[in-house]
Structure 1
């Protein structure tokens, strides 16, 4: 079932076209139209649940389960610096996370499976999802629109730069972290830098808070519990000798257990309140719970691990540690059995990671993704029906 050279070349061409025409989250109009056109040219029925997604339907000749496989479609607000001959033609927008490759893989899978209906049990739903990069994202909208209502299982994948090209990463259980956002505003009393005793210095206060927040993971959580609290933004003042009235910091919380998220939120509030009371300052804490942790079903992931080992060899399939990045595929994994794997694209001499202006994928791994999931979906459709 190895993809033909013609199919691989076609899929790479799809990736390059999509890379050249990226669109932002919730604005994937041309991308959606293009994907829909490609599927319908294969004779695949399509529909949309939200008006932003595309879902292809491949029905086998045998009775069986409904199995989903998902690709994301959106790009990022990044100015491309790769110098590729098929660089983005849309100013300030770039496929800097591999979603162009994800779509190319799923289109390749569609092209093969559309000719294999006699071997297929049940129905395959090809889910081209919008808005993975933004909150609230496309997965929440599709779940709300009952995508999963009759679906028995769903598979997903990510072209992953931290894993060397030619390898595949798998993990059971909590696999990608939940991701919350927060911002802290400290309201003090400004004044001249030469007379700090007349002020309530929000810069000092927020600096103390930032340092103290790092004690949450190290001192408030069980040592075996993995979590991260990081500050990404800090704004305070506009002149070197003036103490400002306010200071603002914002950041992210990552975790593999939703109860951990609640504990961090509670401790954060207590720390901020205590420090502000000590200095006579007021504060506002805005805390938003984002994507939940992505949870891989053990049975499905065992299945995918075995199929990957058959394809590329046991030595090239690795069980990976949990990833602190987030993925809105998690919303599917909280509802039905799911498995999300990582296809290595890390290339020697190309250190640029996801969301970097020079990020690029190893196009050779598109063929691996097509072959792996084509065989996996056909085999699982039989196994799930047995």
Structure 2
């Protein structure tokens, strides 16, 4: 029972570590366009996002229930599988962060868990119908929907204000972005913090600490909200640069429409229990805002690399989660090996990132064309 309790604590801490990476990986979702247009100063933006992420975590638990009760058969899930799945998600998050790619932390988590459970308990333990309905379909539909709505909204914003002096229009939309960016941060907390709540709740159910179908306890909601909030405050500057300056040239009206669109889509999905990717929604909104402004530059090469990372996220995280589950299932030594490799890899990613650091002072610099966001040196 003593080692069993230790493993449960390790799983909870690893889940919170994933939540922390989710926070700094996805800060760009809510604040990239506001930072790019100058509506908010970088450090102020991440502080506001951190506070609102924490507040958003308390607004709903529908997505958490989808993860703890909807994707896998919780009676066949072990702590080792959950631990391995989290490791897969964390390593994929760090990989895409290093390259400045706004991939989905949510799908990294889903992929890691699916791979680990598949290896540990077999494919029958995975509820593929729910995976298709709650993950795959929203993953395809949500960025397309956000792109289309943002395109129309941006076109209308410029059409309606075409007779108004541009500096007055930009000043008004910058003021509006303070509110729209804050709403995205709040919505991000309602959706993404819940994913860690769901994982921790799944761990508690699998060990008998909670009954099947239980809702996340209050302390799970609080700690998950605090972890993602702290990660958000750290600021994922590399991805903020990609979304704010790398995908398209953003002006205040575009930033406002992209953020407002993303908020509407994310909050609607949270209410319905769809665990979609806020990254994909926000990226779709930014792309749509670029398409909706006449003569705006859309960097399709960057968009293509982002799309490739989206396609790879589920299988890549699942592969790492599956391997980690196989190694960890060999006993305490296996768990120690997986943990050691994860810590070493995380350290290596951090060291590599220091070669070409991105911080609040240079986050709005457009990467040189010759690097074109193709690797760590570009960011």
**Normalized against structure 2, the TM-score is what?**
0.26
Q: Higher strand share goes to which structure?
A: 1
TM-score normalised by structure 1 residue count: 0.25
Identify, as 1 or 2, the structure richer in helix.
2
Higher RCO by CA contacts (8 Å cutoff, separation 6 or greater): 2
Which has the larger Rg? 1
